[in-house]
Structure 1
Amino acid sequence: MRLLLQMAWRNIWRNKRRTLITISSIVLAMVLSVIMRSMQLGSYSKMIDDVVGIYSGHVQLHAKGYWDDKTINNTFELPDSLKNSILQHSNVIDLIPRLESFALAAGKERSHESFVVGISPDKETRMTRLRDKVIKGTYFDASGKGTLVAQGLASFLKLDIGDSIVLFSQGYHGVNAAGAYPVTGIVKFSSPEINRTFLYLDLESAQQLFSTENLFTSIVVNMTNPRNVEETTKDLIAVIDTTKYEVLDWKELLPELVQQIQGDNAGGLIMLGILYMIVAFGIFGTILMMTTERIREFGIVNALGLGRMKLSVMVALETTLLAAVSIVTGAILSYPVIMHFHNHPIHLTGEMAKGMVNFGVEPVLPFSLDPGIYLHQAFLILLITLGSTIYPLLVLKNLKPVAAMRA
């Protein structure tokens, strides 16, 4: 085998120009494919983190059926036994309680629909960084009294710090819900929809408003490693009573985001497919020429005693070495580019940037350092290259030494 490997290596470099052209084409494909996938996967990861981090979180716990019928009556109490069972999971940091419902918000002159969110101020800001979004006034103080109003809603209602906002709604089991609260802070969100409607109360005030003492509409599960969300969701489903509760991950909470990513990913895969088709034809053309030129050589070597099986192994080794050199070179050349754009993401401008901001995503394109990107592209290139050896192997299988030496 060592002798065959040495012969294969020398055979590659017998025609240096052809070999370098082939390697260059494969390297270019490797570099372009790795950079393209790194940019795609990096932007998807950023998109998920931004959209999920604005509000929903990666995993939520609800009363059974709440997500299909989001009413204040579909609230639930979180028993200590269930809370402790969830917190025992190695990937769970904390549980963030919320009480959510719609209400009519009124200022001095105008009224507008609003989405009222009762929160635990300290826990909420640890996950969504709500405190950092305050552009005027202050975050909830130690007493927790007052309200945070989204900038768009405050602007429409002509509210400023110190003004009162009046809320009218329907509480638990149809009771009337009404209350007046001082505006202590104004928060700004990148998502226009959230910026037009959201309003935050501390959890106790929200429970008093809607007459839902110790009840919640959702519990957001804050995790150590959001990349393990699917495994964590399955584990949590296993420890809850599924007749009373439901656990949903971000893919179920935000199906429109999933569809957007899937559509963009499909387009990227089509582009990669076209690129690899071009490379495959180039590699096959090179292998075809190499095989045609070496028919006489194969016949002589076979006549001297080197069997067809060993000849086939040698040709396969030549192709494998060609692919290996190209893959390693492509990986080395692409890594600095990916590292640079991982640390210094591309900042977008224009209409694309506006569209991303409207969706709640920062308009940047970070690159992913996921090692799986290299492995997937290397595997595909190796597969294409080895697939190109089918033709020379068929030629060697049907090789007739006498006829080959006369070629």
Structure 2
Amino acid sequence: MSVVHVIGIGQSRTDLTEHHLSLIYDCDLLVGGERQLNMFPDFTGNTLAIKGKLDPILDQISSDMRSNKIVVLASGDPLFYGIGTTLSKRISATDLKIHPNVTSVGAAFAAICQPWHDAKIISLHGHTEPLFSFQSLIDESKVAFLTGPDKDPAFIAHQLIQCELDGFKVCVLEHLGDSDKERITWFTDYKKVAQTDFSHPNIVILLKSNPHPPLVPHETFMGMPDTYFRHSRGLITKSEVRSISLSRLRLSRRDHVLWDIGSGSGSVGIEASLQIPWGSVFAVEKNQERIPTIIHNIKNFNRSNIKVSHLNFPTGHDTLKTPDRVFIGGGGKDLSQIIACCCDRLVEEGIIVVNTVILESMHTAMSVLSERGFTPDVVQVQVSRGSQMPYGTRMNALNPVWIVSGTKPNL
């Protein structure tokens, strides 16, 4: 049985060594995409073009390697989002030899004289759906996209516009390594990217125009001090209670949709948004005077996945995306209707968490959840904070808070 050689071409045939060329011209079967095979018009052996599904190609390689010398050509580096990764899962390491070369991303950054050790690399090629949320790019300053026919520069530009991710310069690099076709174009206007036709293959690089320190000059974490948030008259879910409430929400998926009803200062929604960078938080507040405070805090933490809605909930609930999680930090006399509406809109196995300092509201939350088939749970949180005295520390008690939670049953 012959060893299958997987050779990375780099950016062009000129990146190949004499040893690589010797293996290619000496093999019985040369496998690769049409573009790679066309680089060797003088090859006299059998060729197999990679088109459509890979399984038939892999089956033929596994079969023919018993009696034939096979070389598989790969763009860039075979193990960098390449066919080498797939082959390594089908063929044992003793029967497979990988020949690395210059990656397409490495060549792209070299072409614009930028280091890329700190870049976020995202492959859109071959995926019917993005494996990430563009909203998660808000904290990035350098991003490279491996594009595909459908996920092209125009697609990326539309996503940047939709997510309001301002501040990036866009570089589109076409046909890297081809002296006749190579083109590098810079844009500062996303709309122009969306309106321009580009040839394939291409790579898109995003660079922050003016990288600057985050507006919040500290690391973010669960239960951040109340002083990190602007709020008035103590209208904020205290940090200790916030931590417990977030743990009760069980934000286990990065793409959860959360409703923050009675958002107040927005502290719960903001901390939740850090846990669900691919998801969305809908901060709902009925008091108009609190909306600027929420918006200020969102901007201060540079969050793009929070949408603020001025609604007298449950009025307007149909304008909100179906939630996986609901946090209710306010409600007053309408609490029963608010909880009932949230129960109806919540996905099956979704979670509702209700915080209240009022005993009657705790009873209301327990009752409505029970009526809707939930099995509610309640904890009382009593927090005391140390305060320095001349000769010691005194504990100052905060208002006790009831945290009611429940999971929507499967129907």
**Whose radius of gyration is greater, 1 or 2?**
1
TM-score (structure 1 length as normaliser) = 0.23
Structure number with the higher helix fraction is 1
TM-score (structure 2 length as normaliser) = 0.23
Question: Which protein, 1 or 2, shows the higher relative CO under an 8 Å CA cutoff with sep ≥ 6?
Answer: 1
Structure number with the higher strand fraction is 2
